[in-house]
């Protein structure tokens, strides 16, 4: 039950994952969700820890790309300050835009990984695109009003998978 919600790995935060993990898994492009994975949905400017994370990922030879359901106006400013590419209005949990982006870049599904904080959007979209996904916990308490609905469904599914040890820590992958 709930197989489509089982992530490849789990992490408390995107900030604790070492770039070596991505390299071990042959990741060339890392899709990173923005709101509540990298930062609060209210943040317009990346924090120092986000700048450092992106620097370390790039130094490892991996191309970080922000992927968000948010509008281009929100995502572009943040991504430009980080010096990374972005895909806004991604329409997660649908995977069509992710698949198109992978094809546009001439990549295989094995070259790409997604990191996000929501089962209802990030994990489902990654499964639909047949790419690996790391599920994180949210980095701040507050959510956009639209996300509250997803969290209602997210909580019992996470609980179900925790009980069955399906949320495997990234260090064990």
Q: What is the CATH number of the domain that holds 22?
A: 3.40.50.1000
How many domains is the chain partitioned into structurally? 1
**pLDDT value, residue 2:** 83
Above 80 in pLDDT, residue 130? yes
Mean local confidence (pLDDT), 41-45:
89
Predicted TM-score (pTM) of the model is: 0.94
Residue 42, helix vs strand vs coil? coil
Contact 64, 33 (CB under 8 A): no
**Which conformational region is residue 55 in: left (phi greater than 0), alpha (psi within -120 to 50 degrees), or beta?**
alpha
Range of the domain at 57: 3-172
Could you write out the three-class secondary structure of 93-107?
CCCHHHHHHHHHCCC
């Amino acid at each position: 039950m709930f197989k489509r919600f089982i992530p490849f790995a789990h992490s408390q935060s995107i900030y604790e994952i070492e770039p070596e993990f991505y390299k071990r898994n042959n990741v060339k492009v890392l899709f990173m969700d923005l709101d509540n994975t990298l930062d609060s949905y209210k943040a317009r400017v990346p924090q120092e820890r986000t700048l450092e994370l992106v620097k370390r990922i790039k130094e490892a030879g991996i191309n970080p790309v922000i992927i968000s359901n948010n509008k281009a106006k929100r995502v572009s400013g943040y991504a430009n300050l980080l010096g990374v590419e972005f895909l806004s209005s991604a329409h997660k949990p649908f995977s069509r835009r992710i698949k198109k982006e992978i094809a546009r870049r001439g990549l295989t599904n094995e070259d790409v990984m997604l990191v996000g904080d929501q089962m209802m959007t990030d994990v489902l979209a990654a499964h639909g695109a047949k790419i690996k996904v790391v599920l994180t916990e949210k980095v701040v308490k507050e959510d956009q009003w639209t996300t509250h609905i997803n969290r209602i469904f997210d909580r019992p599914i996470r609980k179900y998978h925790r009980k069955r040890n399906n949320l495997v820590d990234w260090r064990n992958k």
